[in-house]
Amino acid sequence: MSLTHLGRYEITGTLGRGAMGIVYQAHDPLIERTVAIKTVACAGLTSDETAEFEQRFFREAKSAGRLNHPNIVTIHDVGRSDDLAFIAMEFLAGRSLRDILDSGVVLPLERVAEIAAAIADGLAFAHANGVVHRDIKPANIMVLDSGIVKIADFGIALLPSGSLTMVGTSLGSPKYMSPEQVLGQKADGRSDIFSLGAVLYEMLTGRAPFAGDDLNAILYQVLNGAPSLPSRCNPRLPQAFDRIVARAMEKDPDKRYQHAAEVAADLRSDYRSPGPMEKIQSAGSALSAMAKPGTAGSSAGDATVLIATAAAPAKTPRLLRYGVPLAGLALFVGWFLLRPAAPPVPEKKVAEKPLEEARSVQKDAAEKKAGQATPESVAVSPATASKQPAAADWKTVLRAELAACDRESFFTRVVCSEKSRWKYCPGRWGSIKECTKAANG
């Protein structure tokens, strides 16, 4: 059954269908004027959700209704009829920017700058009054027959902060959404500036800055892709547009224009800066040659949709990525090199037995040698003989001392070992075998 009335309004036709509902043309018998009515379905909500939705819907529509500006569509009324909430707004005679771009009509560059500056003016006024649009795109920009540019759908665009928005979701048009909207973060006026930059990019080049075969591909481009500068798509474009677009579409909100009024001021001052108007007109001619009717909005991502927001990619700082492993390695090496030495008492006990055995062997060898001494060897004093130990004897003593040194920490072990070697083999830093050569030599 077709709808005939919404509140006091008499439905006279259907203007279009969007993600939120149907747009009707209607007659207001009270004031005798034609209006456009956008509807939002409440069916499927619980009673608590419906009450919360109505409260948020009417409060935000009221805020949008206070936006009385030449570049913003005027909201006349809000209401509810059965399961439909609706907003009545001024009826506009003109075309959407989406329709203009899809038709293949190429706008002169001065007209492109005028349209973008008018959008920026409307956004600046809305932001100054605490209202964020959140869904700036060509379909929400109306170009009237008189040439006036108006931003539409302010009341509808405010709904994502209401009760209908689920945690982990965001509402918007993927090709024009800001990165923070894709990530589910709070959107402020700078998000609208990013979307305005995307719209300006499409007006200049004839194609959207982000494209893909499906929703995920588009969202990935929004988060990670860097579109080519407009002048690379059309070398005859003044480079002033490159600077404006690049700054408006910075991934980091803090690096963008902070106020829409700054965008409007740059557009009005810079797009004339190349000098001769012929240069601007020749750039428009080149854009006309590039444009193809019906292709500007043919890819996915134009419609306003509810998407699951992505988790913010974790960016590991270089200090954490490289510093932590290096610090751990340094701590391990320091512990290994500077670990405390073993208690000295056990080491002495361990070393005592080998030393005593060595002295005993040395004494037995001396006595045996004395017993076998020739008359010539008897002439040598016992004291002199005791100072010349056999090779096997000093090797045993050296090994015992080296065994004791091995129980020390690294630096202490090195010093202890070399002192022992020098004691029995001065000038030699090699093995026991080498010391043998020195001692016997």
Q: Can you give 237-286 as a three-state secondary structure string?
A: CCHHHHHHHHHHCCCCHHHCCCCHHHHHHHHHHHCCCCCCHHHHHHHHHH
DSSP string, 323-352: IHHHHHHHHHHHHHHHPPPPPHHHHHHHHH
Report whether 310 contacts 223 (CB < 8 A).
yes
Give pLDDT, residue 392. 55
Q: Tell me the percentage of the chain whose pLDDT exceeds 70.
A: 64
- Residue 290's pLDDT band, with cuts at 50, 70 and 90, is very low
Residues 307-324 have a mean pLDDT of 57
Give pLDDT, residue 356. 61
Give pLDDT, residue 303. 61
Give pLDDT, residue 263. 96
Q: Higher confidence at residue 346 or residue 60?
A: 60
Respond yes or no: is residue 135 known to be catalytic.
yes
Give pLDDT, residue 269. 87
- Bridge partners (DSSP) of residue 10 are 5, 27
Residue 332 main-chain phi, psi, to 5 deg:
-65, -45
Give pLDDT, residue 295. 45
Give pLDDT, residue 254. 95
Give pLDDT, residue 386. 47
* Residues present in the chain in total: 441
CATH level 3 topology of 1-91: Phosphorylase Kinase; domain 1 (3.30.200)
Every domain of the chain and the residues it spans: 1-91, 94-315, 339-367+383-440
What does CATH list as the number for 94-315? Answer: 1.10.510.10
Burial code (b: 16+ CB inside 10 Å, e: under 16) for 395-404 equals bbbbebbeeb
Q: Higher confidence at residue 80 or residue 147?
A: 147
| Exposed/middle/buried for residue 343 (C-beta within 10 Å: 0-12, 13-18, 19+) | exposed
Residues 315-323 have a mean pLDDT of 60
Q: Which long-range contacts (CB under 8 A, 24 or more apart) does 80-84 make?
A: 80/42, 80/54, 81/5, 81/6, 81/7, 83/41, 83/42, 83/43, 84/6, 84/21, 84/39, 84/40, 84/41, 84/42
Select from 221, 242, 199, 230 the least CA-distant residue to 100.
199
Inform me whether the pLDDT recorded for 284 exceeds 80. Answer: no
| pLDDT tens-place string over residues 107-160 | 899 999 999 999 999 999 999 998 899 889 999 999 999 999 999 887 555 443
Catalytic residue among 77, 135, 192, 302: 135
Q: Which of 149-158, 306-315, 373-382 is least confident?
A: 373-382
Handedness of CA 317, 321, 322, 323 (dihedral sign): positive
| pLDDT tens-place string over residues 396-416 | 888 888 888 888 876 677 778
Look up residue 140 and give its DSSP letter.
G
Inform me whether the pLDDT recorded for 161 exceeds 50. Answer: no
Tokens 């005679």 belong to residue = 93
Give pLDDT, residue 395. 77
Q: Which of 28-32, 216-220, 386-390 is least confident?
A: 386-390
| pLDDT tens-place string over residues 91-121 | 988 999 999 999 988 889 999 999 999 999 9
